Amino acid sequence: MVENAQYLDASASAPGSTTPLETAWIRVREKLKSEVGEVEYRTWLRQIVLGPLEEDELTLYLPTRFLRDWVRSQYEERLQTLWRTEREDIKGVELQVKRGLPEVSMSDAEEGEDAPGERHELAPQATAPESRSDLAVPLDPRFTFDTFIVGKPNEFAYACARRVAEKPSSPGFNPLFLYGGVGLGKTHLMHAIGTELTRTGKVSVAYMSAEKFMYRFIAAIRSQSTMEFKEQLRSVDVLMIDDLQFLIGKDNTQEEFFHTFNALVDAGRQIIVSADKSPSDLSGLEDRLRTRLGCGMVADIHATTFELRISILEAKAKASGTHVPSKVLEYLAHKITTNVRELEGALNRLIAHADLVGRPVTLDTTQDVLKDMLKAHDRRVTIEEIQRKVSEHWNIRLTDMSSARRARAVARPRQVAMYLAKQLTSRSLPEIGRKFGNRDHTTVMHAVNRVTELMDQDASFAEDVELLRRMLEG
């Protein structure tokens, strides 16, 4: 028995006007869309055409061999599972190429979504090549060298970026490879380089993410304009590719990038690349590509220090024109430690809240406004963590927490740490005493009472203790 079907766009058909097979196809497509996301769905899966069901095998068609191979390698297993869930009589799904099928424009998948029920179809044909400006993403004017806060974790990467901006293709600096965790400033430095180079108007710069590079490359293949794509990219003076790790597992795009890389470097053009890991640690990239990426200057952006986070927050607060107390900046710098983008976002929310409601920024409003963000950073407080935070706050050695020193500069922070251990943990007094150099439980009791008295007498001291408690407790 053969059950026939035709091309069906799930967004444009209603179940009431379709066959049972087509109705099941709509459900499969919607599930795929929700799983992979709108962009990926429109890029790869929207092109699939429902074919016939013969016996227990369903055929799905794609317009090109390239698309067929990609969908087969990435999605075939999931398609099989979804169809078996929808129809018990379907035991297998076969992907085949069928020439002359309607082809969806790649630009739809990259730049936007259709209006409800709207369909964009075009017959396979060569399209006009994109201009150079279409290949690049506009540079963000906010990301300049002047707005980049320099500290020990990023000073080397900053110096390398400055060098390349001043003199592209310098020996030993091509390519420039920047790597580090999310939100540490890689993209900021790349935009800063691009902005600096384009000020004179004499240098052509193309900046794009690795994902955009892949989409443009595939669009060129499908529009039969790969030569134009290659020529446009290889004609720029500086090519910047962000988040190169996206190309892991994308063998065809890696191949094209490798050849583009070689052509530009051989022509004396500058290449700047960023990723979340060093070239040697990017397993999944071809060995020859990793080798070429590591042959220039490799600069690591380390995790931020407390001092750098404070500097970033102070600069951001000053630029906003809103007064943010130093205690609030310290609190944020202690609480949000891994992502500068998230840190700046938290400060922006505080400033916006203060502006909209007309209230000053305080520790209380900070905790209230940012409770959802701070909750993500919550963790169980330990005595060791309390000791470390208190030592950092009063600039004493961590070993002083357990030492026999009685100098007030050491004894007072130690008492505060004991007080916080009693307030924030479920440990007994004897257990707390043992963590502080095997001190007696009566010593801990004395510390708790003394700190309580001092907080009543000295507002500044009470503020310090409260700040530490909030940073630890979240």
In order of 95, 211, 397, the CA distances from 269 in angstroms are 42, 22, 51
Buried b (16+ CB within 10 A) or exposed e, 202-213: ebbbbbbbbbbb
Q: Which contiguous run of DSSP H or E holds residue 76?
A: helix 65-86
Q: Is 183 annotated as a binding residue?
A: yes
Cβ 27 vs Cβ 86: under 8 Å: yes
Q: Is 435 annotated as a binding residue?
A: no
H-only helix segments in 267-339: 287-293, 306-320, 326-335
Q: Which contiguous run of DSSP H or E holds residue 132?
A: helix 132-135
Cβ 282 vs Cβ 248: under 8 Å: yes
Cβ 422 vs Cβ 460: under 8 Å: no
Q: Is 169 left (phi over 0), alpha (psi -120 to 50) or beta?
A: left
DSSP string of 228-243, one letter each residue: HHHHHHHT-SEEEEE-
Please report where in the chains the tokens 């398609």 appear, as a residue.
79
- Residue 332, judged by CB atoms within 10 A of its CB (0-12, 13-18, 19+), counts as buried
- Closest by CA to 70, choosing from 40, 99, 31, is 40
CA distance 237 to 42: 33
Q: Across-strand partners of 208? A: 241
Q: Which of helix, strand or coil describes residue 176? A: strand
- Closest by CA to 129, choosing from 241, 231, 252, is 231
Residue stretches of the annotated binding site for ATP: 183, 185-187
- Residue set of the binding site: 183, 185-187
